[in-house]
Amino acid sequence: MSKSIFSICLFLLVVAGPVFAQGDFMALMPVPFTNVRMEDEFWRPRIDVNHDVTVGHCLDWCESTGRISNFAKAAGLMDGKFEGIYFNDSDVYKVLEGAAHALALRDDPVLDRRVDAVIEKIAAAQDDYGYLNTYYTLVEPNQRWTNLRVRHELYCAGHLIEAGVAHYEAMGKRTLLDVAIRFADLIDSIFGPNKRHGVPGHEEIELALVKLHRMTGEERYLRLAEFFVEERGRPNGRELYGESLQDHLPIREQTEIVGHAVRAMYLYSAVADLAGINGDAGYFNAMDRIWNDLTGQKMYITGGIGVWDHHEGFSRGYDLPNEKAYAETCASIALALWAHRLNSLYADARYADLLERVLYNGILSGVSLDGDKFLYVNPLASHGPETFNTSGGKEGESKQHRQHWFRCACCPSNVVRFIPQVGGFAYAHDEKDIYVNLYVASHAEIPLSENRISIRQETAYPWDETIKLTIEPENTETFGVLLRIPGWCDNARLKVNGHKIDKPLMEHGYARIERQWSAGDAIELRLPMPVRRIQSHPNVLPNMGRIALQRGPLVYCLEGIDNGGRVMDISLPDNSRLRAKYKPNLLGGAVVIEGKGLRRIDRGDPDRLYRDAFYETEKQKVMAIPYCLWDNRKPGEMVVWIPRHPSLSETEIEENP
């Protein structure tokens, strides 16, 4: 971020505080990503690649696939038919939101102009009443608002609003924001308690309206968001859409996570926003139940969610197939959004634990290191692109191997808007305390009542266990610094100014250090990162007898390229020593896990499905890489859950090293 923008944002935050107020019932206020300068070797390069490659890549694809020219056509600026899927407008909005966040972090006049040019077409496509949806304008002009279940007008409007807010926050321009406001006003004039009833088939506008409310202070947007949330599961003269669209029961009566994963997460994100504002106990209780169901039974170890391809959603508890995992990138992103909101609502580290899990695993796997290839589906095992193509192949594309784009391009356009915001998950505060949720080399500016606190983190996290935080309050003051002790960490150690703190006060997963802080006070936190073997709940049948490797927040996988081509036939003896090793030249620099495994020798006739069991194995050096880095090289097999080899004797595995 350029210094000037950094200062402007800080000014806005401090001066315009009430406009950004999150809600009276929120325990914490997140520190916006514009106040956090990422200085690390893990996220900073990804944020740069997102700015330098992904934003432009997505804009190029939005152009070449007609997504942008749909606006020009709807505006009458060019001839031609609508191209693509009826919700393609949303991709353009999401990419613009990503561009805006990127511009909030770093000046880029070329990108700024490109964004303005797209906005110009969008604005031109809006009709005099504020309506804006290129599919309806070009294809079914007389059918507006007739198919809320499927056609996604309100979903697209939600992304327009988010983009408008982001663009205004980044650039101070009202061009896109005003378009969004006009459309929001039109929608507000149509839908509501004494107006038309109905809910969007794809949630999204609810959380967007809360954002718009927060930015503008306008109560109507908040009421409309509440209306859409409250309407779910209530017929009110319409047919309910059922579980797959979370429209089976009123929110307060919902007990399980069901249906389409992204939609559910967007919905509950809005519920969390509203709960923070209205304090509704029914919302809190419903979210608690749903959270417990989700995390206790329906989530991959990567934080991936939604196992089924046919409705992109949840199955029954413990139904977590690996190779057929859908675990859409968008769903992981949406889970992070919800988890972050819950962390702010409750000031409880367990939500940040999950945020970290999905951030470092299920989300990051969605984008290639070079920033222009994506995974839509994030399986936990793969036979590689040639042989595995059942899941997600609806549109004739293999979603199992990185693609430059997808016909349904929700995932790339979600990645591009998400990555720049990662710094915004790192810190939060209330009136008297500062919370550190993510460990990442960074510099944050945090307002605390009348004071302003600068925090610098120095760490090579997630590769290394040591974190040094230097606290620089503008004025010496007594307050708490609450450090998240990750759920994966058994033996955290803490020093303040070199003095060991043996038993820090623990509060909902945070170690509280309350003292008078002066400029230069330093905290040293060590989060030991042994390689851990993880097993699943025994009800997860495909993982029985298998383990996953985890170190720090990172889940690991075996990829063919590092393990002699095949990984499906590798097992890992329980007594095989596993060593973490940093490889600076691998995949942008990464800690890998090395050990000795066994490869099953298959001498069976490849034409025979079933043969007499044959137990010969050979030794195989095993190297695991972080799951988020898979499919960045030669494509091939990949597996997260590795079969155990329970009890080979030490000599058997350790001889002839």
Closer residue to a second copy in complex, CB, 54/322: 322
- Residue linked to tokens 């505006």: 75
83 a catalytic residue: no
Nearest 10 degrees: CA dihedral of 136, 140, 144, 148? -80
Q: How far is the CB of 647 from a second copy (least distance, A)?
A: 6
List the one residue from 22, 65, 254, 322 that touches a second copy (CB under 8 A). 322
Number of residues that bind a second copy (CB under 8 A): 62
Taking CB under 8 A as the rule, does residue 317 contact a second copy?
yes
Cis peptide leading into residue 542 (ω within 30°): no
Residue 540: how many CA atoms within 13 Å on its side-chain side? 20
Q: Do 202 and 263 meet the contact criterion of CB atoms below 8 Å apart?
A: yes
Is 570:563 a contact under the CB 8 Å cutoff? yes
Q: Is residue 571 involved in binding a second copy (CB under 8 A)?
A: yes
| Binding-residue pattern over the window 287 to 306 for a second copy, x denoting contact by CB under 8 A | -----x--xxx-x-x-----
Residue 293's φ and ψ, nearest 5 degrees, are -65, -45
642-645 vs 570-573, strand pairing mode: parallel
Give 59 or 305: the residue with its C-beta nearer to a second copy.
305
* ∠ CA 138-141-147, rounded to 5°: 110
Residue 248 binds a second copy (CB under 8 A): no
252 vs 533, which CB is nearer to a second copy?
533
Select 378 or 536, whichever has its Cβ closest to a second copy. Answer: 536
431 or 610, CB closer to a second copy?
Answer: 610
- Pairwise CA distance, residues 71 & 225, whole Å: 26
CB atoms inside a 10 Å sphere around CB 127 = 15
Of residues 473, 542, 560, 595, which one binds a second copy by CB under 8 A?
542
The one segment of 53-61, 89-97, 184-192, 546-554 that binds a second copy by CB under 8 A: 546-554
Nearer CB in complex with a second copy: 518/649: 649
Tokens 């590795």 -> residue: 642
Token reading at 657: 């090293």
**Type of residue numbered 273:** D
> What residue type is assigned to position 349 of the chain?
A
Pick from 625, 616, 617: nearest CA to 597: 617
Per CB under 8 A, the segment of 113-121, 191-199, 206-214, 644-652 that binds a second copy is 644-652
Backbone angles phi, psi at 166, to 5 degrees: -60, -40
- Give 15 or 609: the residue with its C-beta nearer to a second copy: 609
Q: For a second copy, which residue of 30, 84, 321, 553 counts as binding (CB under 8 A)?
A: 321
158 counts as binding a second copy under rule CB under 8 A: no
- The CA distance from 379 to 307, in Å, is 9
φ, ψ (nearest 5 deg) of residue 154: -70, -35
Nearest to 169 by CA among 424, 437, 502: 424
Write down the catalytic residue from 410, 411, 489, 628.
410
By CB under 8 A, residue 548 contacts a second copy = yes
Is residue 613 near a second copy by the rule CB under 8 A? yes
Pick from 234, 532, 619, 633 the residue near a second copy by CB under 8 A.
532
195 vs 316, beta carbon nearer a second copy: 316
Residue 166 parent element (H or E): helix 153-171
Task: Decide if residue 335 touches a second copy (CB under 8 A).
Answer: no
Residue 564 as a binder of a second copy (CB under 8 A): the answer is no
Q: Enumerate residues 581-610 that contact a second copy by CB under 8 A.
A: 600, 602, 604, 606-610
The CA dihedral of 249, 253, 258, 262, to the nearest 10 degrees, is: 90
Binder among 574, 577, 583, 634 for a second copy (CB under 8 A): 574
Using CB under 8 A, which of the segments 116-124, 250-258, 413-421, 641-649 binds a second copy? Answer: 641-649
- Say if strands 590-600 and 579-583 run parallel, antiparallel, or are unpaired: antiparallel
Q: Which is nearer to a second copy, 579 or 608 (CB)?
A: 608
Asked if 80 interacts with a second copy (CB under 8 A), we say no
Instruction: Tell me the sheet residues that pair with 558.
Output: 624, 639
* Least distance CB 387 / a second copy (angstroms): 7
**Span from 87-95, 149-157, 589-597, 612-620 in contact with a second copy (CB under 8 A):** 612-620
* Interaction pattern, residues 355-394, with a second copy; x per rule: CB under 8 A: --------------------------x-x---xxxx----
Question: Which three-class secondary structure state does DSSP give residue 597?
Answer: strand
**Cα angle at 303 between 299 and 304, to 5 degrees?**
75
Q: Which two tokens stand for residue 577?
A: 């020593």
Give the binding range for a second copy (CB under 8 A) out of 17-25, 97-105, 319-327, 506-514.
319-327
Is residue 60 within a helix (H) or strand (E), and if so which, with residue range? helix 55-64
Active site includes 410? Answer: yes
Residues in the chain, overall count: 657
The verdict on 647 binding a second copy (CB under 8 A) reads yes
651 sits near a second copy (criterion: CB under 8 A)? no
Shortest Cβ distance from residue 402 to a second copy (Å)?
A: 20
Q: Which of 231, 312, 328, 465 is catalytic?
A: 312
How far is residue 249's CA from residue 289's CA, in Å, rounded to a whole number?
A: 14
Question: Could you tell me the smallest distance in angstroms from the CB atom of residue 546 to a second copy?
Answer: 8
| Nearest to a second copy of 173, 600 (CB atom) | 600
Closest by alpha carbon to 433, among 416, 423, 443, 447? 447
Indicate which single residue of 577, 611, 621, 634 sits in contact with a second copy (rule: CB under 8 A): 611
∠422-423-425 over CA atoms, to 5°? Answer: 75
For the four alpha carbons of 555, 339, 43 and 176, in that order, the dihedral sign comes to positive
- Positions in the binding site for a second copy (CB under 8 A): 292, 295-297, 299, 301, 310, 315-319, 321-324, 381, 383, 387-390, 532-542, 544-548, 568-569, 571, 574, 600, 602, 604, 606-615, 643-649
Catalytic residues: 312, 410
